[in-house]
Amino acid sequence: MATHHLPGLDEHFSLPEVQHVSAGRPLNWLKQGWQDLLAHPGPSLVYGLLVAALGWLIVTLAAPRPYLVTAAISGFLLLAPIVATGIYELTRQRANGRTPTFIDSLIGLRRNAGSVAQLGVVLALVALAWERLSAILLALFYGGEMSTVDGFIRQVLLSGDYLGVVIAWVGGGALLAVLVFSLTVVGMPMLIDRNTDVITAMMTSLRTVADNLPAMLIWAGLIVVLTLIGFATLMLGLIVILPWLGHATWCAYKELISD
């Protein structure tokens, strides 16, 4: 069954039909994603290793500037859909009867590379804007020195002296995260699966979220919780968690968007 909470989109875009799913389906996507991960663990875990290394590098480079650490982590989450494109390609090739390698997935990404790159630029600009906003907020409202990450967390985030700044920072990050999630949750897999343009993919993703809001809220929550577990394990957990989520997101896309 398809619903259309955003009917105005049809006046400007030719969008595929969006299926309506129950709120509990995200758990099934995780199950299917885990099965896909086990089906080709080698190339999948290579992506996980690359992401864990990237996350470690970002946090390490930001550590001398504690105010950047939280922005760097948020930026990492904003850019994660780009990293997952290779995992989507692995699952796509496996669904077509192949046994893809890591190199096969990279080669396959060339099929619609232009549109993928365009969406990547959009996400990169969002991440850059978020980093600048974080720096400006702290420069305007905090005049103390923050020599360590622990000091930043105690003095700014947990002290209660800068509650307004914290609320603005958390609110801004949440709004950006919702925007990125809404535009990419099926938008990025769609670009890998179909020869479509970036605007159509983003608008399809937006409609999918609107038409399946309970399921999408649960899915977003699961992604956040699992990603935080990955960070809490000093990035080691991301080696498995990111490819797992990538495969599960592909399963979600195939269930939500009609062929």
Residue range 184-238, pLDDT digits in tens: 999 999 999 998 999 999 999 999 999 999 999 999 999 989 988 988 898 899 9
Cβ atoms of residues 202 and 13 within 8 Å? no
What integer pLDDT is reported at residue 1 of this predicted model?
Answer: 44
Please, which residues have CB within 8 angstroms of residue 151's CB and are 6 or more apart in sequence?
A: 66
Distance CA(130)–CA(176), nearest Å, equals 8
Neighbours of 125 (CB within 10 A): 11
Q: What are the pLDDT digits (tens) for 37-46?
A: 998 899 999 9
pTM, two decimals, is: 0.84
pLDDT at 254 over 90: yes
Spatial CB neighbours of 135, under 8 Å, sequence gap ≥ 6: 67, 68, 71
Q: Worst-scoring range by mean pLDDT, 38-52, 111-125, 146-160, 178-192?
A: 146-160
Q: Give me the amino acid identity at 61.
A: L
Long-range contacts at 97-105 (CB < 8 A, ≥ 24 apart): 99/40, 100/40, 100/43, 101/42, 101/43, 102/42, 102/43, 102/46, 102/47, 104/43, 105/43
Please tell me the distance from the alpha carbon of residue 91 to that of residue 160, in angstroms, as a whole number. 46
Q: Residue 241: how many CB atoms within 10 A of its CB?
A: 22
The pLDDT mean for the chain works out to: 83
Instruction: For residue 200, give both structure tokens.
Output: 């159509």
Name the residue type at position 235.
M
